[in-house]
Amino acid sequence: MTQTRLSSLTLDWSPDWTAIFGAERPIILEIGFGRGVFLAHLAKTHPDHHVIGVDISNRCLDTTERLIAREKLDNARVIYSTAETALAHLFEPESLSQVHVNFPDPWFKTRQAHRRLMRREVMDWIVNRMRPGATLHLATDIQEYAEMSAELLAETPHLDNLLPDAWVREMPGRVTTKYEATAIREGRTPYYFVRRRNTLPALDLPVKKELPMSHVVFYSPLTLEAMNAAFADHLQGQHHAGEVHLHLMEAFLGKNALLIETAISEPTIDQRLALLIIPRWHSAEPGGYTVQVSALGHPRITEGVHEAVRVLADRVIALHPEARILHHKLKN
């Protein structure tokens, strides 16, 4: 059976896993499964569980999808998603019975630290998504990463250590991942962590749902051509509001719309999408326009997208003293 690739950009937030798998079973999550050997082993050894992997490498998804099909692992699926997006948008609180993280990328440079998986925000999501009794398994071959993870885990009272020490250097019976085999061959003995979720209440982190579509309707005497001409000096640029960072990057003038390429970065999702300024030809009042999100590329409507629509509308209105907002649908 050919299955379409699952992606956090197209799946419901949160998806009906029972409908996707055709059965209701506890869920095991592997973050960053790479070549999929460990994921396939999990699926084989846990036929009574759904095994879901998330990764951001299409090559890894290709390889692992082929492995799942070849080995007829009906209880395994992989999803194109960052760990952050999956944890926040795809899984309900207390829905995971195991979480595995094998050899995460270290992202040691300060400017890349926000990408590191073992950090407070991600740990809070993991803890919230684990059900009591669920286990978290982490492996790394980098001493600094192991020390940082041990510290983070020690500061997480919701997880009990199942090992005699913070980590162990051997895990008998474990299936070796590709990255692990390389590390061992090159003399870097891995550090293994196992923790169990206890019953301490976690932070309240419900599934982050998609917001309703946003738009702003405004009046301006300017033409689309004039707005396009003003783009580089007055509309283009970055904007930061709380944890939302956005960049109005480039404008493209079409026959019936000005399309603005926009990058939006939020804690749980990064998106590149198009905003549109469209004349309201059918409107009684000439000079009416709508700012809205283009359906191109399947954008997810988040707080950041609402902020982007608002910022673009504000900037366009500031271009002319007679311009004004007529009505809008925006969060807050």
Ligand X SMILES: C[S@@+](CC[C@H](N)C(=O)[O-])C[C@H]1O[C@@H](n2cnc3c(N)ncnc32)[C@H](O)[C@@H]1O
Q: Which stretch binds ligand X (CB under 6 A): 51-59, 72-80, 140-148, 160-168?
A: 51-59
Among 103, 191, 193, 218, binds ligand X (CB under 6 A): 103
Q: How many residues bind ligand X (CB under 6 A)?
A: 19
Which of positions 11-40 make contact with ligand X (CB under 6 A)? 31-34
- Under a CB-based contact definition with an 8 Å cutoff, are residues 52 and 64 in contact? no
Interface residue with ligand X, options 63, 95, 97, 102 (CB under 6 A): 102
Active site positions, annotated: 105
Minimum distance of ligand X from residue 32's CB (angstroms):
3
Kindly list the distances between the CA atom of residue 309 and the CA atoms of 60, 65, 213, 260, 289, in Å, as whole numbers in the listed order.
35, 37, 10, 11, 13
Cβ 90 to ligand X, closest distance in Å? 12
Instruction: Tell me which residues in 160-219 interact with ligand X (CB under 6 A).
Output: 177-180
Kindly indicate which of the ranges 9-17, 49-57, 91-99, 258-266 contains the residues binding ligand X, using the contact rule CB under 6 A. Answer: 49-57
E strand residue ranges, 254-287: 258-266, 269-279
Q: Should residue 82 be labelled a site residue for ligand X when binding is judged by CB under 6 A?
A: yes
Q: Which of 18, 45, 47, 56 binds ligand X (CB under 6 A)?
A: 56
- CA distance linking residue 324 with residue 313, whole number of Å: 9
How far, rounded to the nearest angstrom, does the alpha carbon of residue 185 sit from its chain's CA centroid?
33
Give 107 or 279: the residue with its C-beta nearer to ligand X. 107
Interface pattern 238-277 for ligand X (x via CB under 6 A): ----------------------------------------
| DSSP per-residue string spanning 76-102 | EEEEE--HHHIIIII--TT-EEEEEEE
Is 74 exposed, middle or buried, given 0-12, 13-18 or 19+ CB atoms closer than 10 A?
A: middle
Dist CA 313 CA 289 (whole Å) = 10
Compare residues 60 and 278 and give the one whose CB is closer to ligand X.
60
3-class SS of residue 272? strand
151 binds ligand X (CB under 6 A): no
DSSP state of 168: B
Q: Do residues 94 and 132 touch, judged by C-beta distance below 8 A?
A: yes
**Can you give the C-alpha Rg of the chain in angstroms?**
23
Helices (H) and strands (E) in the chain, counts: 9, 15
Among 83, 88, 269, 313, binds ligand X (CB under 6 A): 83
Looking at 42, 60, 216, 293, which residue binds ligand X (CB under 6 A)?
60
Q: In this complex, which beta carbon is closest to ligand X, that of residue 208 or of residue 306?
A: 208
In the complex, minimum distance from the CB of residue 156 to ligand X, in angstroms, rounded to a whole number: 19
Q: Which of 54-62, 163-171, 268-276, 307-315 is the region at the interface with ligand X (rule: CB under 6 A)?
A: 54-62
Residue closer to ligand X, measured from CB, 103 or 218: 103
In the complex, what is the shortest distance from the CB of residue 130 to ligand X, in angstroms, rounded to a whole number?
Answer: 17
Closest approach of ligand X to the CB of residue 182, in Å:
8
Q: Pick between residue 18 and residue 143 the one whose CB is nearest to ligand X.
A: 143
Piece of the chain touching ligand X by CB under 6 A; list 96-104, 145-153, 190-198, 300-308: 96-104
The answer to whether the CB of 219 falls within 8 A of the CB of 288 is yes
Residue spans of alpha helices (H) in the chain: 17-21, 37-45, 58-70, 83-85, 120-129, 143-154, 178-185, 224-230, 303-317
d(CA 100, CA 130): 12
Can you give the binding site for ligand X, defined by CB under 6 A?
A: 31-34, 54-57, 60, 82-83, 102-105, 177-180
